[in-house]
Amino acid sequence: MKVLMFGWEFPPHISGGLGTACYGLTRGLAHNGVEVALVVPKAYGDEDQSAVRIVNASEFAFDARQIRQHVFNEEISFIEVNSQMIPYIGMDEYYNVINQLESGTFSTEESAGKHKFAFQGGYGADLMKEVEKYALVAAEIAQSQEYDVIHAHDWLTYRAGIAAKRVSGRPLVVHIHATEYDRSGEHNRNDIVYNLEREGMMAADAVCAVSNLTRNIVIEKYGIPAEKVYTLHNAVEPALRQTDGKRPLKEKIVTFLGRVTFQKGPEYYVEAAKRVLDRDPDVRFVLAGDGDMMPRVIKRVAELGISDKFHFTGFLRGKDIDRMFGMSDVYVMPSISEPFGISPLEAMQSGVPVVISKQSGVSEVLQYAIKVDFWDIDAMADAIYGILHYPSLARIFSEKGCEEANNLKWEDVAARLKTIYEKCVFTQSSLF
């Protein structure tokens, strides 16, 4: 089986869990005998292609006028993005609708003839321009590749998936790693992003959600028929975490690692830290990450009088994450709405006991993690304190947690995904 897959990022050029998930999933599919050609807006040449063929969208020329005429006829609104967008782990950005054209996107480029578009990649200010151009290029790419199924990851690539389906007639699978409700909440929903998400889900032959939590949102909030929405939990790459074992401080260390956004619940982490420190002042708290709520969090830490016990590292990646886990005694993920959450699995691989919110998809697959409601600060503080002060408890969660995380394998996820592909292909072939 061959799959034409559309993604927005791929290691080592990633900004969050979306690229990590794409990497694990493509390797798992290769393990199950599925060939994947992964289209990304911009390829850098240093991607690991041992299990996937990377297709660089920037190398393909396309005739925008012809593709729009035959593939797209809807109106589309554009968004000016004021700060970096991270689709998988939360968008704390502010959107500005800047204009709406009657048809297509950029009328200045409606001249006949093929053109290449040099994608910048990432999540910069021209993101929506790149999203639409990516869809146009996708139609061209779809006519040059051989494949059985199309697979598109998150709303950034849904229009590309739709374009590929229209020119090829192949079934489309869309993958939901996060929804607009996760990123913005119930009352701050951005309708343009929501509509793009719903458009992709409605056009798809199958929808894969990373948790039951996300599946329920897709069905209830987007009106997608339940029979075509499948739960496909994430996994984690097998890894021997390179931790040097050096501890810069004698105190116990508690770590939050993720975007400092509303979705991730950093304020609840700070309040729980205060309660722990009231009982045991010999604890240090680390907040590793960055985001729009950082000034507010720093201010609250100062108001609570615990600045001398708090460390702000900024955004970490690669070996620095492993080093941080190597220093940590507890990892906390207090997310308000977390579609899945791979970072607790990475912490568990390092032997770090984890405390996670019940409002996370990963809580559905873990037994050896302490689960609390994100809003229950006292319960969160009790969980942290218990792990820090009861060695036998910490040891059980460390040893069993590591084993549990390593048993969540991408090849198992990919095997389930392959059956979804096969069902889509069979259903389509039975119609003709």
Residue-range domain boundaries for the chain: 2-235+410-430, 252-406
**pLDDT, tens digit, 9 for 90 and up, residues 282-320:** 999 999 999 889 999 999 999 999 999 999 999 887 789
Are 109 and 133 contacting, i.e. CB atoms less than 8 angstroms apart?
Answer: no
List 100's β-bridge partners, or say none. 77
pTM: 0.86
Average the pLDDT over each of 97-111, 150-164, 357-371 and give the range with the smallest value. 97-111
Place of tokens 């929405």: 229
C-alpha 371/C-alpha 364 separation (Å) is 10
Reported confidence tier of residue 108, pLDDT bands at 50, 70, 90: very low
93-121 average pLDDT score: 50
* Segment 239-288, tens digit of pLDDT: 766 666 677 778 999 999 988 988 899 999 999 999 999 999 999 999 99
Return the bridge partners of 173, or none: 151, 206
On whether the CB atoms of residues 137 and 131 are closer than 8 A, the answer is no
Average pLDDT value for residue range 346-353: 95
At residue 132, the pLDDT reads: 84
Tokens at residue 61, please?
A: 């020329």
Topology given in CATH for the domain delimited by 2-235+410-430? Rossmann fold (3.40.50)
Spatial distance between the Cα atoms of 105 and 126, rounded to a whole number of angstroms: 13
Say if residue 431's pLDDT is above 70.
Answer: no
Domain 2-235+410-430 identical in fold to domain 252-406: yes
Residue 240 is predicted with a pLDDT of 61
- The residue type found at 376 is D
322 against 69, higher pLDDT: 322
pLDDT attached to residue 432:
55
Distance CA 347, CA 221 (A): 32
pLDDT greater than 60 at residue 159: yes
User: Angle at Cα 161 formed by Cα 159 and Cα 162, nearest 5°?
Assistant: 65
- State pLDDT tens for residues 176-218: 999 999 888 778 888 888 999 999 999 999 999 999 999 999 9
88 confidence band (pLDDT: 50, 70, 90): very low
Give the single-character DSSP code of 102: S
**H helix intervals, 209-307:** 212-222, 266-279, 294-303
| Beta-sheet pairing, 61-62 with 115-116 | antiparallel
* Region 252-406: CATH code: 3.40.50.2000
